[in-house]
Amino acid sequence: MKILLTSATIIDASSSHHLTTQDILIENGQILKIGNLADLPADKIMSGLYVSQGWFDSSVSFGEPGYEERETLENGLRTSALSGFTTVAVNPNTNPVADSHADIAFIKAQSKEHGVTLLPIGALTTGSQGEALAELYDMQKAGAIAFGDYKKSISNANLVKIALQYAQNFDGLVLSFPNDSKIAGKGIVNEHISSTKLGLKGIPALAEVLHVARELTILEYTGGKLHIPTISTSESIALISNAKAKGLDVSCSVAISNLFFDDEMLDGFDSHYKLMPPLRNKEQVAALRAAVLDGTIDMVTSDHNPLNIELKQVEFDHAAYGSIGLESAFGALNSLFGTEKTIEILTAGKKRFGCEVHPIEEGNQANLTLFLPEESYTFSEKDIHSTSLNSIFLGHTLKGKAQGIIAKNQLIIQ
């Protein structure tokens, strides 16, 4: 297939064509020419789009196998593509939990022919029960790119120590969700003025901070590679910054929702705003945004977590945690940080998770995201491609929309 992008604005700081408007000719999945090519014939011609390297999301959930009513792998990959993501790391919160070679192989097989590259995260412990280490090496051989129990912290510190030591044998990346369950107790929202006012049990920042401090202390002892997903406090930022200064191999992410919203959104008891980690106060949100800008936070994730209506449209206390986020990711980040920084953010996690990087240059593989950054709009159900509709961004103003991707010699567009 021959694709011609005319008058395309290139946003790619690693490319010699960064911030220029060019024509781009793509044939059989490769960038053949960049320049003034408007008169060349092509199977598909598109004009006036913005183009960047393909975006990456380090934390998405699709449900299949076991929770297909929330999201199938097929529709999840389609949603990823239409949201601008060429590569996604999928969490093991399935039924059964993805904790074996066969589970990882099944997930990989489902995406083999799709334009979006799916990278499975294997469970760190058997059944994500936090009791025994899963078969990490077997999963790595099947294609797992990291190991972690989604939204579940491990209370047994020795298990984390063993995981970090063992994974070094094959350069494995260990994920540890930062929440001390004993400190969090029965809390469901951020412990702050808003939780007291609303009469909801609070989760103190201490629950996250203690866990981050413990994992970093273990990492300093064992060595290895650690990723701490979806932090939400300034204290965690400081701890991770100090650990990096010591030379520890640690990275972290933040969920887009925790950058965009604060706990004042809880006033209406709308379960769309019930997340884990919980929405924090304005000061914490400001600290998170600053840490994204200065690079202390390595990557940002949509933390896409589809949930069927029965799990969300119930009393706030009983509602499940989570929001979809792929479709709103670009518009939310672009509203906060502007286009150049947003593209940097959306491609920042690739190397950490072992993804190939393809600058927009002649001769390179075409792994591209197509988008328009200027349009402001109110995010609504018509913008959702997911099977589930549990989006925290419904009714909020965003700026910019993904149009699709070109990847693995496929064009998938809105």
Q: What confidence category does residue 101 fall into, taking pLDDT thresholds of 50, 70 and 90?
A: very high
pLDDT for position 376: 97
Percent of the chain with pLDDT over 70: 100
Q: How deeply is 364 buried, as exposed, middle or buried, from its count of CB atoms within 10 A (0-12, 13-18, 19+)?
A: middle
* pLDDT of residue 1 exceeding 90: no
Residues with a catalytic annotation lie at 303
Model confidence pLDDT, tens digit, residues 184-224: 999 999 999 989 889 999 999 999 999 999 999 999 999 99
Q: How many residues are present in the chain?
A: 414
Domain spanning 54-347, CATH architecture:
Alpha-Beta Barrel (3.20)
Q: pLDDT class for 110, splitting at 50, 70, 90?
A: confident
Tally Cβ neighbours within 10 Å of residue 381.
8
Supply the pTM of this predicted model. 0.96
Task: Give the number of C-alpha atoms closer than 13 A to the C-alpha of residue 252, restricted to the C-beta side.
Answer: 29
Closest CA to 227 of 39, 101, 381, 91: 91
Q: How far apart are CA 404 and CA 414, in angstroms?
A: 6
Average pLDDT of the segment spanning 13-29: 96
Q: How far is CA 14 from CA 64, 172, 348, 371, in A?
A: 36, 27, 12, 18
- Distance CA(149)–CA(271), nearest Å, equals 24
**Whole-number Cα distances in Å, 294 to 12, 43, 105, 226:** 19, 43, 38, 20
What's the confidence (pLDDT) of residue 257? 98
Query: Could you tell me where in the chain the CATH 3.20.20.140 domains are found?
Result: 54-347
Asked, as a colleague might, if the bond just before 229 is cis with ω within 30 of 0, I would say no
Mean pLDDT of 378-404: 98
List, for residues 251-295, the tens digit of each pLDDT value: 999 999 999 999 999 999 999 999 999 999 999 999 999 999 999
Report helix, strand or coil for 385: coil
If one counts every other C-beta atom within 10 angstroms of the C-beta of residue 362, the result is 14
Of 117, 139, 127, 116, residue with least CA distance to 94: 127
Residue 281: per-residue pLDDT: 96
- What is the rounded CA–CA span in Å between residue 91 and residue 124? 11
What are the φ/ψ torsions at residue 373 (nearest 5 degrees)? Answer: -95, -5
Q: For residue 56, what pLDDT is reported?
A: 98
Which residue reads 């792998």 in tokens? 73
pLDDT at 222: 98
Distance of CA 398 to the CA centre of its chain: 18
Above 90 in pLDDT, residue 313? yes
Q: State what percent of residues in the chain have pLDDT above 90.
A: 96
How far apart CA 302 and CA 345 sit, in angstroms, is: 12
- Which pLDDT score is estimated for 111? 85
Q: Is the separation of the CB atoms in 44 and 81 below 8 Å?
A: no
> What per-residue confidence (pLDDT) applies to 260?
98
Give one DSSP letter per residue of 30-78, joined into a string: EEEEEES-TTS--SEEEES-EEEEPEEEEEE---TTT-TTT--HHHHHH
* pLDDT tens, position by position, 46-73: 999 999 999 999 999 999 999 999 999 9
* Alpha carbons 193 and 406: distance in angstroms, whole number: 47
- Report residue 315 as tokens: 């009393």
**Residue 160 DSSP code:** H
pLDDT of residue 350: 95
Mean pLDDT of the chain: 96
Q: Label residue 411 by pLDDT band (50, 70, 90).
A: very high
For the chain, the straight-line distance linking the first and the last C-alpha, in angstroms and rounded, comes to 18
Given a cut of 90, whether residue 353 has pLDDT beyond it is yes
Where in the chain is CATH 2.30.40.10? Answer: 2-50+360-413
Return the bridge partners of 119, or none: 89
Contacts of 109 (CB under 8 A, 6+ apart): none
Q: Which two tokens stand for residue 101?
A: 């070679």
Q: How confident is the model at residue 16 (pLDDT cuts 50, 70, 90)?
A: very high
Between the CA of residue 239 and those of 23, 41, 251, 293, 295, what are the distances in Å?
A: 46, 55, 12, 17, 14
- Euclidean distance between CA atoms 339 and 331, whole angstroms: 10
pLDDT for 194 equals: 86
128-144: average pLDDT: 97
Across 231-244, average pLDDT: 98
Query: Per CATH, is 2-50+360-413 categorized as 2.60.40.10?
Result: no
